[in-house]
Amino acid sequence: MINKGYLSTEIVEKLSQEFYKNNALPSVTLMEFFERKEFDRMISEISAINFKVCRRRMEFSYKKSVLPESIKKVISNEFLKAYISSIIGKKIKKIEGEIRVFGWKDYTLINDKTIEKPSVELIIDFSVKMRNDCGGGIIYVDGTGEYSEILSSHNSITLLNRKKGIQKFVKYVNHLAGKDNKIYFIGRIII
Amino acid sequence: MKENQINNWINKDYLTEDRIIKFSRQFKDAKPFSHIEINNFFRAKKLREIEIALKKEEFFLKESDLFKVKQTNDLVSSKQNVLIRFREFLISDEFISYMEKISGLTLGRKKIDLAGSIYEDACYLLCHDDMVTGRKIAFLIYLSTMKRNDGGALLFFDKKMNAKVRIIPKKNTFVFFEVSKISFHEVEEVIVKKKRLALGGWFHD
């Protein structure tokens, strides 16, 4: 399931160190994470989904769906959970989340109605390559003007410990994206 | 004649009592919330001077979850005489009284926010209400003209978040609206390689 290049004990230790390097926003992104066959199976199911439009103009605009079977299997896979546990140093009970698609004119905003409680997050990026200036990136802000954009791309996963006071938003996708979309699994790791 | 007299700055057709009463009715009756759009508002020579001076100011790219736009600092810090005088005019008792007559609102004479903005390709301002303590009237003075399909239009939404008004920027148009918990508005993304230049800000209580 996981790219074999990520499986050695030495690499896992390095990833764990990387995860804890930034105390304010512990995070690590692993590119080309899933084996190609596994990832293509997920992509194939995602492309067959009828997404539902979700829009509250003052809060968000995107399309979402319940999880397809292949992704349900992946995020409940014991090996994957043990692997992530060894990076974040915490035992995982379960992972929950949804697929969200961000095309032209989609976004999420941070406001009083969208405040999220702290959590450890898992982002899986299913997008085809989209230029950075098209928007659609996931950005974490601490309320003082400091921000971090996760550098995810096609077949990457990001693990992130979003502490108190840190919120995230998905940057407005502009017309330069054309018909391209950002497709994310946005999940919460329950520990 | 004093430099800051209203008839030095504004189209004289808009200074008659009849016209002010008409504007006042338009402002009050406007849906989805009180607003007005007045074309050819400033005297052409003055507007040209303002535009030239504004283009000499430094614009800074600002981005957040809500917007991507290039903005000047508040023009209270401008060193250019044209912009200093223009700001003084906007906050003069004569002009504030004029705004009060149209809006029916009581406005303060001590504070005004005023900055230049440029929305270029892929810039936008998403829907919000502008509600910040003290703000009474939000205003925009367009210094460029956009076409219907260029983007950059100002949209007003009703309480159900349906767009009810679309104002396409036209040079020398003065737009203002009452800031309230229902003044939902946005600036559409500019989708062409064109610059939407404007001055904007707020009158306070």
Which of B 28-67 lie inside 8 A of A, CB atoms?
Answer: 63, 65-66
Q: Is A63 on the interface with B (CB under 8 A)?
A: no
> What's the mean pLDDT in A46-75?
94
Q: What is the pLDDT of residue A66?
A: 85
Domains and CATH numbers, chain A: 4-190 (2.60.120.620)
∠ at Cα A127 (A121, A133), nearest 5°?
A: 95
CATH of the domain at B56: 2.60.120.620
Q: What is the pLDDT of residue A116?
A: 92
Name every chain B residue with its beta carbon within 8 A of the beta carbon of A56: 161
Rounded distance between C-alpha atoms, residue A94 and residue B137, angstroms? 50
Q: What is the pLDDT of residue A57?
A: 96
Q: Do B191 and A108 touch (CB under 8 A)?
A: no
**Looking at the 3D structure of chain B, how many domains does it have?**
1
Rounded distance between C-alpha atoms, residue A190 and residue B78, angstroms? 53
Q: Is the pLDDT of residue B139 over 70?
A: yes
Name every chain B residue with its beta carbon within 8 A of the beta carbon of A109: 65-66, 126
Beta carbons of B162 and B154 less than 8 angstroms apart = no
User: How many other C-beta atoms can be found within 10 angstroms of the C-beta atom of residue B81?
Assistant: 10
Q: Is the pLDDT of residue B144 over 80?
A: yes
Q: Is the pLDDT of residue A170 over 60?
A: yes
Beta carbons of A10 and A84 less than 8 angstroms apart = no
For B110-134, the pLDDT digits (tens) are: 999 999 999 999 999 999 999 999 9
Owning domain of residue B125: 6-204
Rounded distance between C-alpha atoms, residue B31 and residue B33, angstroms? 5
Rounded distance between C-alpha atoms, residue B143 and residue B198, angstroms? 5
Q: Do B126 and A133 touch (CB under 8 A)?
A: no
Q: Quote ipTM for the complex.
A: 0.93
Q: Do A174 and B189 touch (CB under 8 A)?
A: yes
Beta carbons of B168 and B192 less than 8 angstroms apart = no
Q: What is the pLDDT of residue B4?
A: 67
> What's the mean pLDDT in A169-178?
97
Confidence of residue A143 (pLDDT cuts 50, 70, 90): confident
Q: Is A174 on the interface with B (CB under 8 A)?
A: yes
For B21-54, the pLDDT digits (tens) are: 999 999 999 999 999 999 999 999 999 999 999 9
